[in-house]
Amino acid sequence: MPQFEVNINGKNYAIACDEGQEEHIERLAGYVKVRVEELVESVGQIGDARLLLMASLLVSDELSDAYAELAAGQSDEKGGDSESSAEKLERLAQQAETIAARLEAS
């Protein structure tokens, strides 16, 4: 299993991933890094765990908007609802909170 490091807010984090996923994970980490840098500019250094949690919530909000747009498009086509998108967003938010709690504990 490949392992590499990503640097976010001046700290290196070791990341393991499936074979062939390195570039994808690095792109995602780069996106998170940019979001954290934007937060540091606006709220200052408030701790890695809080910054990562806030970045996770911002990304989750973007994902929620994307799910809502997708669900609206599917509703127009099929007459469906967006409940599954809300459940996915809730699960992602819970995962973000779990990660933040682990980071604060370390």
DSSP E strands, 2-105: 3-8, 11-16
Note whether 99 and 52 are within 8 A (CB). Answer: yes
The pTM for the full model equals 0.62
* Least trusted range by pLDDT, from 40-49, 59-68, 83-92: 83-92
pLDDT value for 13: 92
Note whether 69 and 18 are within 8 A (CB). Answer: no
pLDDT value for 105: 65
Per-residue pLDDT of 68-91, as tens digits, reads: 888 877 766 665 555 666 677 677
End-to-end alpha carbon distance in the chain: 24
The per-residue pLDDT of the chain, averaged, comes to 82
What is the pLDDT averaged over residues 10-39? Answer: 91
- The dihedral through the CA atoms of 7, 35, 61, 72 has a sign that is negative
